[in-house]
Amino acid sequence: MYVDDALQAQMVRWRHHFHRFPETGFNEHRTADTVAGVLQVLGLEVHRGVGGTGVVASLRVGDGPGVIALRADMDALAMAETAAGRPHASQNAGCMHGCGHDGHMAMVLGAAQLLAQRRDFNGTVRFIFQPAEEHGRGAAAMIADGLFERFPVDEIYGAHNIPGLPLGRIATRVGGLMASEDNFVIRIQGRGGHAARPHMAVDPLVIAAEIILALQTVVARSVDPGEPAVVSCTEIFSDGIRNALPSNVTIKGDTRSYSPQVQALLERRLRELCAGICAAHGAVCEVAYTHEFAPTVNWPQCVPVAVEAAAAAVGRENVDDDVRPMMISEDFGAFLKVVPGAFVFIGNGAADEPGGVPLHNGAYDFNDGVLPIGARYFAEVVRRRLPVDGAAGG
């Protein structure tokens, strides 16, 4: 199944339109309008407002009982684009598609057009366009809104572009592919005072520094070395001024891991260290710890399907079926806790190639060369899981 020049050009137009008009999580109203409009023109049954601004479209061909879902994320980042000369640069100040969700939508729309036109499968395909992936809320919102009760599926498949992986390569693995993300906020209450008379104060900045250093020992000394985990302190605030010790300091950060046991260990050790260090200095400590993203864990029976579809799209020599897990997080993990499925990485470009700028960078741009690869990959997944007369596609 090949993508012709006309469809490739159309996918580029879709992608550039999404890039010009980015919208953040649960605000993807214009984006959802565009997606729904394209799917309706293709003749699909379209449902709006699933989990907020989500869109679900169904395409049924033949009498096959199988149902396969293909998912794309819709939201952009609340950050400024730093490529003003780019013809399709964001027109919404302080918002940009810095993670490539514009390309993900265009790929799945391309797959929808391929499948709607060629109808070379037997069964039902659900096209799921998810809001609010960036902060790990959209998948849960769609599930809570009855996604899989209203639109049952047997399996679900997704993909994400990856700068650093060369264009034309696809990678995946059985089991954990991306980590969970938990967020923490540590609030330390000391006693402020004059910077020249620290003996009369309880300095929460010094306590915060000790906590930040101590947290670096959690992974090194409390987690089994065979288990991947990360603890990162990313922000620190105080109510002090140049010549006054603060009374309050707040530390924010996140943790990444793959198993519930390690998640629980990281939270427990963080709480213990904060409480112990604050008590030793005569300060008061409050810790808020929230679970944001589930780990993305591919189902073993679905990965061979993804590998075969990837091989059809880019050649078996360009498919890595045992890629090293990454500590980044993806909302797709919430879907995989409910239904079987698999997720893949699609190369966006390596080093100084087009598409090599990192994700979440103001100069990032999705590589349009990925579009036909992604569209064909998703269409091939459907052909293999919903074959006509029992024969897989080639």
Catalytic annotation, pick one of 73, 75, 267, 321: 75
Catalytic annotation, pick one of 133, 154, 182, 330: 133
The C-alpha atoms of residue 140 and residue 132 are separated, in whole angstroms, by 10
User: Which tokens go with 244?
Assistant: 């006054």
Residue 21 to residues 32, 84, 95, 350, 368: CA-CA distances in angstroms?
11, 14, 9, 27, 17
Torsions phi, psi for 381 (to 5 deg) = -55, -50
> Would you say 334 and 139 are in contact if contact means Cβ atoms under 8 Å apart?
yes
Distance of CA 26 to the CA centre of its chain: 15
From 186, 23, 3, select the one nearest 90 (Cα to Cα).
23
Whether 181 is catalytic: no
Distance of CA 365 to the CA centre of its chain: 16
> Would you say 179 and 326 are in contact if contact means Cβ atoms under 8 Å apart?
yes
Whether 210 is catalytic: no
Positions marked active-site: 75, 133
